[in-house]
Amino acid sequence: MTATGIGARVLRTEDKRFLTGTGRYVDDLALARATYAYFLRSPHAHAKIKSIDISAAEKMPGVVAVYTGKDVAESKVGGLICGWVVKDKHGEPHKAPPHPPMALDTVRYVGDTVAMVVANSPEEAKDAAEKIKVDYEVKPSIVDLAHALDKGAPQVHAEAPGNLVYDWEIGSKADVDAALAKAAHVTKIDIVNNRLIPNAMEPRAAAAEYDKGTGHYTLWSTSQNPHVLRLILSAFVLGIPEHKLRVIAPDVGGGFGSKIFCYADETLVCWAAAKVGRPIKWTAERSESFMTDCHGRDHVTHAELALDKDGKFLAFKVETIANMGAYLSTFSTAVPTYLYATLLAGQYTTPVIYANVKAALTNTAPVDAYRGAGRPEATFVIESIVSKAAQELKIDPAELRRKNFIPSTAFPYQTPVALQYDSGNYPPIIDEAMKIADYKGFAARRSEAKARGKLRGIGFSSYIEACGLAPSQVIGQLGGGVGQWESAQIKFNPTGNVQILTGAHSHGQSHETTFAQIVSDKLGVPLENIEVVHGDTATTPFGMGSYGSRSLAVGGSAIMKAADKIIAKGKKIAAHLMEASVNDVVFENGTFKVAGTDKSVPLAQTVFAAYVPHNYPLAELEPGMDENAFYDPANFVYPAGTQICEVEVDPDTGVVEIVNFTAVDDFGNIINPMIVEGQVHGGIVQGVGQALLEKAVYDSDTGQLLSGSFMDYAVPRADDVPSFKLGYKVTPCPHNPLGVKGCGEAGAIAAPAAVMNAVHDALAPLGVTHVPMPATPMNVWRTIHGA
């Protein structure tokens, strides 16, 4: 390991600009003659638009244009798409109601776009929007997921009768029912996975410019995947040829999934830029983000786990209703199916598993992938029921888990729910976590807490996730509309420094450091001579972007492939320069050498020769040192780990305090431990937020978003979490060249179950078996007091 190579704790390159306020975000963009958009949004959860009068708004000062859904429809703008076709249990594709970027005659959630004002300033646009008169006929709405599929529930779309998008299943119901019927013990749970609002630090923003001379559009967007956004806008929504549309996602301040999707706002900004003939800028206000960013989670689940008399899992049955919101967002249908039910084996050998998932439409903001996307929901169900079973059977929760772990000798392990785990070794992980958490000393800590009037509890969560999205052919078989490979280009400049161009996108993941470390390590180029370029469809090769903890496992692997090509070409040049046979040339620490001699040529010299090919084998070799690679993974990667959370509950107030938190993860090989720790810390904090604080609430009568600001939606703060204790176990991924797995989502995937299991353990002496998530003081107090 070098001081800056793979495994080194290198400080983040990008921090210099982020910490000195010199990052460049969409809203920072200065565009000559810019106009500003404001979107008028529906104040009703469900209403017919009887009429819209824009005449007064058009006369307001500074107004350039006002558009309604009719204008958009007349321009033949296509609907926003759901890119993943899930087939229901009868083999029928899911119901796909239209999703116009601007409502035409009906609004379906509070925040649905009704009109767009373009003006010389944001203030003038907003003032003019005040003058738009919309005559609504309010209709009954449904926001309560548990009742969305009830007979007689208000209908969100005529195209989806009964609000049912699909009724999907995986696994053998008959086998699972048979096992449940004769099992020595069956544990049952009914749980709700609370709805979350992503709250990226930077709100969504878009800016667009149309060049009349060339017919060329440029769209700046806070996107996690600019190439995919361009593809969707070109092929499905706006019909702008791909080569006439450039999408740039510059510095982006967090996404957590919410910036994967193609939204109405950026679509309309791009569309209208050509119509008004001037650039248009738009940045969401924080309250718009709450209202219109795709939300996350929102499941209602019943599950049953069958165990034999020794505590071996025999069968697992899960029935889930998943909220889709009012329209199907880009990834929405895949999240509660292929990213959820396929994970229900967890770390265990459960031989038969059956899951039934019903996706429901409601009059709420669309729901889509949010940090972990499906896998946190799966982990929450599995780890909640396993801990409950342990409590019912009076078995130590760690012991019950260990009894059912997939043994290390069983890999590759085929689960009963489609996935084949490539590698893993779970028992050492839980052992390490228990050691770090001082599990043995817990009983004494519990007694000591009791003496202080506090109820202390400990909770486990042993997660598995499938990330590194994903083998393209598997995705195709599952109804996904795109490939899931990643691209890389390594471009040497004549003076020897390097640009790595990646199709992945960094919006908090530190690619500029990690990817540079890989190339520094592999090619022996000093870190300061490497720059990572991403986020611009005009400069980077087509790539799929960043989500699903895929950037390193897939994007990093593409970089490794490109580096291999650089080495292969450099070898040929070096052989020519050293008058040696290519087969005798080896590459070590940035230098080509002829084995067994003292002849050597540094890589930089071969690069110079490639650009100034005066002494160069031009007959066999092209000049230049610029290599492209595309990498399609052979399988998902399967990070796994165990978290142990220890809480103290104040029975008088219901306040839960996290007093210890341990996470031991197997992420395969680690490129930069400091960055991994940052990802794990952030993930755990988001998981703790879901467990203790966060809940998106719509009023069940009116469909109004009640938790629509930071006054009513609580995100975790520094004093809500303790200092985390982390550990690692490494089983390298066998099928990618770096041996890496993903680390971006793990913390958020495992933490909710760890925290809730700890809360349940703390309250067990009071006879409490279930506290609804989030375990706010009110929820805990009410549960304790049966109120």
Partner 1 sequence: MEIKGEYKIAAPRDKVFAALNDQEILRACIPGCESLEKLSDTEMTAKVRLRIGPVSAGFAGKVTLSDIDPPNGYKITGEGQGGVAGFAKGGAVVKLTEDGGDTVLTYEVDAQVGGKIAQVGARLIAGTAKKLADQFFGKFAESVGATAAPAA
One symbol per residue from 261 to 290: x for binding partner 1 (CB under 8 A), - otherwise; what is it?
Answer: --------------------------x--x
Of residues 736, 423, 744, the one with CA closest to residue 560: 736
From candidates 79, 253, 689, 708, binder to partner 1 by CB under 8 A: 708
- Joined together, the tokens standing for residue 346 give 């967890």
Residues 6+ apart with CB under 8 A from 619: none
Residue 75 or residue 287: which is nearer to partner 1 going by CB? Answer: 287
Residue 129 or 232 having the CB closest to partner 1: 129
Cβ–Cβ < 8 Å for 651, 627 = no
133-138: strand order across its sheet: 106-107, 47-53, 133-138
Strands (E), 256-372: 280-283, 296-307, 313-325, 352-361
CB 110 → partner 1: shortest distance, Å? 6
Instruction: By CB under 8 A, name the one of 702, 715, 720, 725 that touches partner 1.
Output: 702
Structure tokens belonging to residue 503: 């199709």
Closer of 269 and 610 to partner 1 (Cβ): 269
Q: Is 137 in the site for partner 1 (CB under 8 A)?
A: no
Considering only CA atoms, give the Rg of the chain. Answer: 27
Determine the interface stretch with partner 1 among 128-136, 571-579, 598-606, 719-727 (rule: CB under 8 A): 128-136
701 is written with which tokens? 């009568």
List 498's β-bridge partners, or say none: 492, 530
Neighbours of 152 (CB within 10 A): 8
> Quick one: CA torsion of 177, 181, 184, 187, rounded to 10 degrees?
60
> Does residue 362 sit in helix, strand or coil?
coil
Q: Which helix (H) or strand (E) holds 51?
A: strand 47-53
**How large is the greatest C-alpha to C-alpha distance in the chain, in angstroms?**
86
- 87 belongs to the binding site for partner 1 (CB under 8 A): no
**What order do you get walking across the sheet with 591-594 strand by strand?**
585-588, 591-594, 600-602
- Under the criterion CB under 8 A, does residue 704 sit at the interface with partner 1? yes
Q: Which of 6, 52, 63, 134 binds partner 1 (CB under 8 A)?
A: 134
Is residue 123 within the footprint of partner 1 (CB under 8 A)? no
Q: Is 63 in the site for partner 1 (CB under 8 A)?
A: no
When binding is defined by CB under 8 A, the residue of 500, 705, 746, 784 that contacts partner 1 is 705
Answer yes or no whether residue 50 interacts with partner 1 by CB under 8 A. Answer: no
Residue 62 Cα distances to 35, 116, 121, angstroms: 9, 14, 7
Nearer to partner 1, 41 or 230 (CB): 41
Give residues 304-333 in contact with partner 1 (rule: CB under 8 A).
none
CB of 772 to partner 1, least distance (A): 20
Distance CA 246, CA 208 (A): 10
Beta bridge partners of 458: 646
Nearer to partner 1 (CB atom), residue 591 or residue 707: 707
| Comparison of 105 and 712: residue with beta carbon closer to partner 1 | 712
By CB under 8 A, residue 130 contacts partner 1: yes
Residues 432-491 interacting with partner 1 (rule: CB under 8 A): none
User: For residues 40 and 191, which CB has a smaller minimum distance to partner 1 in the complex?
Assistant: 40
Closest CA to 773 of 786, 760, 787: 760
Q: Is 295 in the site for partner 1 (CB under 8 A)?
A: no
Asked if omega into 412 is within 30° of 0 (cis), the reply is yes
Measured from the CB of residue 40, what is the shortest distance to partner 1 in angstroms?
6
First to last CA, the chain: 59
Quick check: 499 binds partner 1 (CB under 8 A)?
Answer: no
- Give 285 or 448: the residue with its C-beta nearer to partner 1: 285
**H-type alpha helices, 437-556:** 442-451, 472-477, 511-523
Shortest reach from residue 34's CB to partner 1, in Å: 21
Q: Which stretch binds partner 1 (CB under 8 A): 465-473, 474-482, 680-688, 708-716?
A: 708-716
| 8-47: contacts with partner 1 (CB under 8 A) | 38, 40-44
Confirm or reject binding of residue 659 to partner 1 (CB under 8 A): no
What number of chain residues touch partner 1 (CB under 8 A)? 26
CA distances from 89 to 167, 337, 343 (A): 6, 12, 19
Give whichever of 287 and 497 is closer to partner 1, judged by the CB atom: 287
Site for partner 1 in 680-699 (CB under 8 A): 699
Question: What residue ranges bind partner 1 (CB under 8 A)?
Answer: 38, 40-44, 110, 126, 129-134, 287, 290-291, 699, 702, 704-706, 708-709, 711-712
